[in-house]
Amino acid sequence: MRSKDLGVIKDIAKRTVKDTSLEMFRRMCLVRHFEQGVLNAGQDKFLTYQVYLSSGQEAIPAAVSLAIPNFMIFTQHRCHGTYLSYGGDPVKLRDELLGLPSGTSGGRAGSNCIQCHENGINMFGHHGLIGENVPLGVGAALGSGNPVVCFFGDGAAEEDYVFAAMGFAATHKLPVLFVCEDNNLSILTPVEVRRSWNISEIARSFGMQTEDISDDPWTIYAKIIELKNKLPAFINIRTCRQYWHVGSGVDGPPEWDRFSLVKEELESQGLEGKAESIEKNIKEQMRTLWDPEQLLKLLKR
């Protein structure tokens, strides 16, 4: 069931507008190389605590943010990718991680509870209880009537209050898209050890339109364009976390490397040069952002 090709729409990448494909890739690069800066800053002791890295899962926020740019966002703990893909300022995220007053929340909140309410972005992070953002997002949809996207993982999907909130959204036909970023792991415990049931079937039983696909960004984008007018809806997206639940450790290579797969696809479409240029540009921006000399000044060391 779980594979890099699960539910991928045949030739969807080639049928997608090239500018859209390249923008998705740009957003993936932004997350990947921002977090490379985070890793380096950790090695250099500028960051002295563990962070929640989005690397490996970048395709999801990249595609979702392009498909539904104006939704209110209720994100999970692994949220750097969501913030950056939706257009959050990388400088403010860096400063938040460094604990500086110029951070997204004045340096008080940190890696797993990023918020952003500027430049057309309306993003609420959670505070550390997995899945707590789901009932909050459902309430925000009820209170405002505006569409909401809730991101959560396969572990959070097991929280009783997540179910209850999804059921409430179904009952009241609220405009909420539930996005499960399913990396199959709760820390290191796989889904099959934790439960016998499938979250997509639960969502379907609530009467929601449901999708269960891998993290091919073109397929995600196409599916969400379909779902966004049929809310509430649920989409389970199989993905691979590159690093540990928290921190920079690894347990061998991921099951698949979506970042490389996307680059290969762009290459097959003759977009290799443009993709390389995008990545080079982002790398340079992130190198500047995380320049150790600059960090020394910012931290007044």
Partner 1 sequence: MGSRTVAETIKEITKKHLTENNGLLLGESISAVGWVNNTVPDVSGIVELPMTDIAGAGIAVGISLVGRRPIFVIRFQDFLILNGSPLIFYAAKIKELHGRSAPVFVRAIASDGLGPVHSGVLHSVFMHFPGFRVCSPMTPKEYEAVWDDYMKHDDPFICSEHRASYQNTEELPDIVYDNADITLYAVSLCRFEAVKAASRLLEEGIKCNVVNLLWLKPFVLEQRLIKPLSQTKKGIVVDPCHEISGAARSIAYELSQATGHCVKALGILDKTKCLCAPLQNKSPDAQKIVSVVKEMLGN
- Which residues in this chain contact partner 1 in the complex, by CB under 8 A? 74, 105-106, 108-109, 113, 115, 117, 124, 126-129, 132, 134-144, 146, 160-165, 167-168, 171
Write out the two tokens for 77.
């703990």
| Nearer to partner 1 (CB atom), residue 138 or residue 203 | 138
**C-beta of 87: minimal distance to partner 1 in Å?**
18
Task: Count the alpha carbons within 13 Å of 89 in the hemisphere toward its beta carbon.
Answer: 13
In angstroms, give the least distance from the CB of 156 to partner 1: 12
The nearer residue to partner 1, 37 or 232, going by C-beta atoms, is 232
CB closer to partner 1, 18 vs 117: 117
Helix then strand count (H, E) for the chain reads 13, 8
Nearest to partner 1 of 161, 244 (CB atom):
161
Q: How far apart are CA 199 and CA 245, in angstroms?
A: 20
Which residue's CB is nearer to partner 1, number 142 or number 271? 142
Whole-number minimum distance, CB 14 to partner 1, in Å? 40
Beta carbon nearer to partner 1, 159 or 291: 159
Under the phi-then-psi rule, with left for phi > 0, alpha for psi from -120 to 50, and beta for the rest, what region is 207? left
Q: Reduced to 3 states, what is the DSSP secondary structure of residue 24?
A: helix
Distance in Å, CB of 128 to partner 1, minimum: 7
Do the beta carbons of residue 184 and residue 191 sit within 8 Å? yes
Tokens (6 digits) for 109: 């909140």
In the complex with partner 1, the residue whose CB is nearer, 113 or 282, is 113
CB of 164 to partner 1, least distance (A): 4
Long-range contacts formed by 84-88: CB under 8 A, 24+ apart: 84/27, 84/30, 84/31, 84/34, 85/27, 85/30, 85/31, 85/58, 85/61, 86/61, 86/116, 86/121, 86/123, 87/119, 87/120, 87/121, 88/114, 88/116, 88/121, 88/123
**Least Å distance between CB 18 and partner 1?**
37
Q: How far is the CB of 177 from partner 1 (least distance, A)?
A: 15
C-alpha to C-alpha distance for 144 and 153, rounded to whole angstroms: 25
Sign of the CA dihedral 62, 155, 129, 97? Answer: negative
> Which residue has 């943010």 as its token pair?
65
